[in-house]
Amino acid sequence: MLRQYELVDRVLAYDPSADEDLLNRAYVFSLQAHGSQLRASGDPYFSHPVEVAGILTDLKLDAETIATAILHDTIEDTVATPEQVTRLFGPKVARLVDGVTKLSKIEGAQTENERAAENLRKFLLAMSDDIRVLLVKLADRLHNMRTLHFIKSPDKRRRIARETMDIYAPLAERIGLYGFMDELQALAFQQLEPEGYDTIVKRLEALRAAGGGDMVARISGGIRDLLAGAGIDADVRGREKRPYSIWRKLQAHRIAFENLPDVIAFRVVVPNVSACYRALGVIHQRWQAVPGRFKDFVSTPKRNGYRSLHTTVMHDKTRIEIQIRTPEMDREAEFGLAAHWAYKEGGDAAGPAPRAYPWLKELLDAVDQAASPEEVLEHTRLAMFQDQVFAFTPKGELIQLPAGACPVDFAYAVHTELGDTCVGAKVNGRVVTLRTPLANGDQVEILRSKAQHPDPAWESFVVSVKARTAVRRFVRQQERAQLLSLGRKLYDETVGRLKLPLSEDAVDTALGRLKLADRNALYLALARQTVGDTALLEAVLPGSTANLKPRRRGRSGTKNAISITGLTPGVAYALADCCHPIPGDRIVGIGRAGRGIEVHSIDCARLADPDGDAGEWLDLHWGDETGGGTARVSAVVHNQPGSLAAMTAILAHHGANIVNLNLTDRDRAFHTYVVDIEVDDLAHLTNIIAALRATKAVVTVERVKA
């Protein structure tokens, strides 16, 4: 374990102005906080944060990051509180420590498939407001992997290795930390594929023995001498390819190990870019190049910013891979962003900023222009996932949602049925409303009820397509259900007039005559008034309407069963379509040439219309034999399932036949229906309106007289 003064000296070696006192206090605080805790290795637990800090000194990180590394497990694993850390080490370090603590949430999260793994990686990036948080987390994982073999449970070792392979190694690659990536992959590979690892290591040993044992050193020396002879000062390092990269090549190309080309590779570091190309020329003159293996990542860097010249040549009978690069490219290849950051201050004569992912590029540009890179990094948010939010299920599954998502979105993202039945949510253990916006890292538990159904009001606050679509679909289904129920009532009422039992065959025949597919189609047609009751009766029993007791038809204003006194016998008349007079209303008649008498309610708006072609007014009265009339009412109901059914139930209960129903206006909260109903008289209608007004589902009811 690194001693206190060793760690401080390491930091001071690359940053003489580092806050020595901060490092010392962090060291002592963490030592005391972890107390007698032990690692699986039997070492004091405290050795872990100190080693993590040590790893980060290799990246030459600032004192705040090193202090964060020393403190990174104190909140999670000891009695230390965030308040204590803030008080003792200031808000900056406290925020970094808090960031690292939050990232530990994903440990144990599910990574069964690639999508889950990608979600977790995005989550880590989204949570790492400050890139230093991610660097500490990766160093933490690296040290845990180095000590993985001490963990006794094979299942646990495998889980951690899997997570490392799926989440942390790709993340290290994404931010350009290739040294970390290589080591994480190597350690995870060893755990996940022990046989494959052993086989490859043994083959490499055999190869080494066959090559005389010092093949790498001999070839390295040869390349160095060759370049020196051409006046190029080169640092040549040879290495065997890592077992994991050989394994991947074997898998990708389905080839046997014996046939695997170039298992040794050499890195040639020369002073500048022009020396790179000169060295390449010299090497190609001396050894035959393998066709198709030359790649120029200097003029065309990889998307992650990687730059180098790659070639493969035949050295005696061995294929060797050679990468040629400048010292700056070499550091970038090893440490990525961190390399750029660490060396920038040192007045290194390196070239332009490395090409990188666009978001990294942005970050690096900001660093370039800033007086103090630390300041920029501290205030730079990783903006890439700001339009998304990541939340966990109680089982630890990570759900990715659009920013602004609420528990309803979350529920639908998990499962449609969960969304349909959600009534509330607990976020991080606290009950919240369904419209509460979720924050990154929230743990969300959905409370559900079998009696619940999607609420049209949800549409005003859900943000995900899935939730919105589900709510709309449900509302449409509900409307259909209500229309079916209304249509069924109209059917029963109409066919009931025939007063004879109907066979299924008779109904099928009627459906055929009406050109309708099934009973539901008939109910919908009746509810929508595309099939009227006369048409229905004629379809069921042709000729039947002639034998039935004549009924008034409200809309057409036929004279049947209406008696009006005050008219000259034989004069044609019709009840007006505008005010729908019913017995009990005071009525007047207007004579119109060639069209008989129009009967209006005395307070009809049309009568007051000065532009109306007002003819002669006749004072009329309802006769004793009048059977009733058709009134029009306008009802505003709450936009919720069951409202229409509640309204029609009341009408049915009061014996009022619905002859027409229109949805005339709808918004989020309310639906407005205009209904024509057959009533006995004004008293009957007044009762019905009173009953409707007393219904919870109904907001207002008015009679329409114009």
Note the residues at the interface with Mn ion (CB under 5 A). Answer: 73, 140
Q: Tell the smallest beta-carbon distance from residue 140 to Mn ion (Å).
A: 4
Nearer to Mn ion by Cβ, of 161 and 333: the residue is 161
Is 77 marked active-site?
yes
Question: Helix, strand, coil proportions of the chain in percent (round to 5)?
Answer: 50, 15, 35
CA dist., res. 322 & res. 143, Å (int): 30
E strand or H helix at 693 = helix 682-693
Q: Is residue 268 within 8 Å of residue 236, measured between CB atoms? A: yes
CA dihedral 70, 76, 79, 80 (to 10 degrees): 50
What sign has the CA pseudo-torsion 517, 522, 528, 529? positive
Q: Which of 77, 235, 493, 681 is catalytic?
A: 77
CB of 189 to Mn ion, least distance (A): 22
Residue number with CB closer to Mn ion (141 or 242): 141
Measured from the CB of residue 52, what is the shortest distance to Mn ion in angstroms?
A: 6
Q: What is the DSSP string of 129-170?
A: SSHHHHHHHHHHHHHHHHTGGG---HHHHHHHHHHIIIIIHH
Q: Are 585 and 526 in contact (CB under 8 A)?
A: no
DSSP 8-state symbol, 39 = -
Shortest distance (Å) from residue 147 CB to Mn ion = 11
Beta carbon of residue 48, minimum distance to Mn ion (angstroms, whole number): 6
Nearer to Mn ion, 30 or 643 (CB): 30
**Residue (63 or 103) nearer to Mn ion, CB:** 103
Q: Which is nearer to Mn ion, 139 or 363 (CB)?
A: 139
Give me the least distance between CB of 324 and Mn ion, in Å please.
38
CB neighbours of 67 closer than 8 A, spacing ≥ 6? Answer: 22, 23, 26, 89, 93
Contact criterion met (CB below 8 Å) for 632 and 675: yes
Shorter beta-carbon distance to Mn ion: residue 140 or 163? 140
User: Tokens in use for 366?
Assistant: 């900001």
Q: Which is nearer to Mn ion, 36 or 503 (CB)?
A: 36
The DSSP letter of residue 256 is -
Coil, strand or helix at 94: helix
Q: Across 46-138, where does the E strand assignment appear?
A: none
Q: How far is the CB of 25 from Mn ion (least distance, A)?
A: 19
- Give 73 or 680: the residue with its C-beta nearer to Mn ion: 73
Which structure tokens are listed for 641? 């399932």
Beta bridge partners of 267: 237, 323
Compute the Cα dihedral for 580, 582, 586, 587 and give only its sign: positive
Burial class of residue 269 in the structure, from the number of CB atoms within 10 Å of its CB (0-12 exposed, 13-18 middle, 19+ buried): buried
Q: Does the annotation count 193 as an active-site position?
A: no
349 and 362 Cβ atoms separated by less than 8 Å: no
| Rounded distance between C-alpha atoms, residue 188 and residue 163, angstroms | 9
Q: Please state, in angstroms and rounded to a whole number, the distance separating the CA atoms of residues 205 and 258.
A: 13
358 contacts: CB under 8 Å, gap ≥ 6: none
Residue 89 vs 247, nearer CB to Mn ion: 89
3-state secondary structure of 663: strand
Report d(CA 348, CA 326) in Å as an integer. 13
Torsion sign over Cα 576, 578, 584, 590:
negative
- For Mn ion, the closer of residues 49 and 354 by Cβ is 49
Least distance (Å) between residue 69 CB and Mn ion: 9
Q: Which of 42, 234, 61, 85 is nearest to 136 (CA)?
A: 61
The DSSP output letter for 585 is B
Residue 96 — φ and ψ, nearest 5°?
-65, -45
Shortest distance, position 338 Cβ to Mn ion, whole Å = 19
CB of 33 to Mn ion, least distance (A): 13
d(CA 665, CA 663): 6
Nearest approach, Cβ of residue 188 and Mn ion (Å): 17
Minimum distance from residue 141 beta carbon to Mn ion (Å): 8
Which of 19, 113, 110 is closest to 68 using CA atoms? Answer: 19
The number of beta carbons lying within 10 Å of the beta carbon of residue 507 is: 17
Q: What is the closest distance, in whole angstroms, from the C-beta atom of residue 91 to Mn ion in the complex?
A: 22
Please name which of 355, 349, 299, 303 lies closest in space to residue 328, comparing C-alpha atoms: 349
Count of beta carbons in the 10 Å neighbourhood of residue 475: 19
Going across the sheet that includes 629-638, the strands are: 657-666, 670-679, 629-638, 698-703
Q: Give 68 or 191: the residue with its C-beta nearer to Mn ion.
A: 68
Q: Which is nearer to Mn ion, 140 or 328 (CB)?
A: 140
**Residue closest to Mn ion (Cβ):** 140
Q: Which of 76, 193, 296, 493 is catalytic?
A: 76
Q: What type of residue sits at position 196?
A: G
Q: 3-class DSSP state for residue 298?
A: coil
Between 50 and 215, name the residue whose CB sits nearer to Mn ion: 50
Closest CA to 174 of 253, 235, 118, 240: 118
Positions marked active-site: 76-77
